[in-house]
Structure 1
Amino acid sequence: MSTFSAPKGVPDYFPPVSASFLAVRETLVQAARLAGYGYIELPVFEDTALFARGVGESTDVVSKEMYTFTDRGGRSITLRPEGTAGVMRAVIEHGLDRGQLPVKLAYAGQFFRAEQPQAGRYRQFHQVGVEAVGVDDPALDAEVIAVADAGFRALGLTGYRLELTSLGDATCRPQYRETLQAFLAKLPLDEETRRRAEINPLRVLDDKRPEVRALLTDAPLMVDHLSAESRAHYEQVKGYLNDLGVKFAENPRMVRGLDYYTKTTFEFVHDGLGAQSGIGGGGRYDGLMEQLGGQPLSGVGFGLGVDRALLACQAEGLAPGDVARCDVYGVPLGEAAKSRLVALAAPLRAAGVRFDLAYGGKGLKGAMKGADRSGARFALVLGERDIEAGVVQLKELSSGEQVQVPLADAVNSVLGALGR
């Protein structure tokens, strides 16, 4: 046996499950494409200060979960724990904010957090995200949420819900912060939690410990302290979501795990996943771009968990994607037959047909087992007599029905059988 194994908390995806993984990722990205989001590919690692400043030093992500190391040049580098800060850096660095606004970008890839691994919570995880930068419009908030909802619906998911709230803006957050800190000061909190309350009291509301949550039952809520502008923005977002047919439930106690969120904040939750029920979320971040050295432009976006969306599909008995490795499987009986079928591979694949064949000199029985395992619809069976007659046997694997087709016209015959 191999002495090597995957790092703890890092999932492997291989056939047939990898087909569903790819389908989930592509479906979520496609939902963004349909709304006009262009694709951006980001570095897997960035300057550590980008995440410390952008995500927030009081967050668990920055203080406990980042994979940070010093490179050969003595620079502090961090494997990306989330996508928004990297997108903002790219927008600023390449002047994308100097053109038409909003800048609408979508991304997909791996992210890294040194968390305690458990079901649906990995140290290397995959996300699809979007960011819409440069316009503070409640309709844009609603569009971003609707794109995420459309992606989940396109997967066939039904057992999830959208939770929504507002975290206010710069005009009402400071006053609420003081009110919340005054409330927390009266509670018997441990020293670490008390220090967190001094840096960012909203983070305390995100504490998952039952004993702390019990103390927070009567904590003041941000939605009760919104400014007139934030309240109007929130009401308009809800109105646009209704116009878009996106169902939601208000959750005034929701606090996202990143410091940059303002105003609209949301999370998609699937109860079929147990404790790690979140499958995606996001919100507006009006001060982030300026904080990272750019223009004072607003932004809104989301990050959707590909791993968790796949688990949600499995919980609902869904298998997105085609788990078949190929459409047609070649079964050569002898070297001459193998040579002829190998020659067919290029034109079939060029025509969009997924084609594989039996290698290694297998006999008919072994080769047909390979055809069945491949998930192919058809097998092309070719022997010496077939070559002499100028034909090949086209066999439908589900029914066992077999017909002879001209070897010289095999490509067109296969395309016709596949309905292409």
Structure 2
Amino acid sequence: MAEPSHPRSPAGRRPGDRDPVRWELWRLPRPAVALVLAVEAAALASVVANLADPGRAPFTGEAGALAAFLTLLSVVHTELATGIERIRRRASETSYFDLSSVWTFAAALLLPPALAAAVIAVVYLHLWRRVWRPAKVPLHRHVYTTATVVLAAGAAHSAVEWAGGLPASPDDVAGVAGIAVAVLLYVLVNTVLVAGVIALTSEWPGLRCLVGRLDDNALEVATLCMGGLAAVAIGATPWLVALVLPPILVLHRAVLVRHLEEVASTDGKTGLLNSAAWQAEAARAVLRAQRGRGTAAVLILDLDHFKLVNDAHGHLAGDDVLAAVATTLRGGVREGDLVGRFGGEEFVVLLADLPPGALGRAEVRSVAERLRRMVAELEVPVCTPDGNLTIAGLSVSVGGASVPDDGTTLEQVLKVADASLYAAKRGGRNLVRIAGPVQIPAPRTAAG
């Protein structure tokens, strides 16, 4: 199930975390705090309302045994996958999806909502102790995630009840449809609530950060489908549900491999693609442009006099500047454009799906100028041996080239863009130079 990732919240716990007045929750924006508290109150109210419902069927010993059985399976699952999940938790920078929903979803389909909520509470308490707390996940995020799961489980249970219960025979189409609707509602409720708190916590973080990537959501749907199969298996032959454990553990390892591949392709200081990963993805984008007879462009950006920052304030302050510039560049282009760190103080951007001819070249220049201005306006707070300072007056020189006008391969276009970059450096720095028949000098500022 998805867990919110708050961009403004540090991941680690602090000494004051045990003091409710100093909880990290209160440092979030007020709308986000209001949503968190409202969702948690709604989850608690739903459980209380179910318990107080006079038409509710009384809990039976069979239901209690089933709840204990699902909880036990979840505990065994978590213990077998603890090491993998801790690595995944540390490697994931955005919304994080765990695979415990196979058991919480089964509980939602098989048990009354209040008893299913009890299973969810125990499952997530165990996850907290074994996975999330060792990975330094803030407590308020854990509690909020638990509340969203309780509400999602309640919606899923209502869908199955509406369909008349779980499938009782091979031709029970309504029962199968009920499980399908339950999967959709479970995902929808959780996604909306997680996306809502992320959106209120920061400025627009991008659709991927809000709802997770497509493959993350596909993983969640697949896990819920396994939970539906587990619920049906328990209804027929309970011990068959043990067969769910091996494929779930294999799925854990497959997802871990993907996360480690992402870490290997990411620059540790900036969070951008590293040089090798950027070139691999950019080469594919250039090839797609060639096949579709489209246009793409490459920008190479080099921070001017960056050595002076390191010499004056230290390499840690320089790292902060690199990270701030990387965030600025990422925010200054479209979501589908590729931004990478080329090495040292050099960055690269691939602009895809540009209009052909003069219009495309004008757009490349416009984007390059926008990025140059954004870096010039940047103010970076840093901590130095001399105290907290703000580094300003940065500038960047930019060179650009286009596909297919300036080359038909990534290597060719990079060479032309690099020559344009050095033309900008020779011209006085803090300039944009785009390869082509016409060069219009960019306006220079006092920082140049």
Pick the structure with more helix per residue: 2
> TM-score band, normalised by the shorter chain?
under 0.3
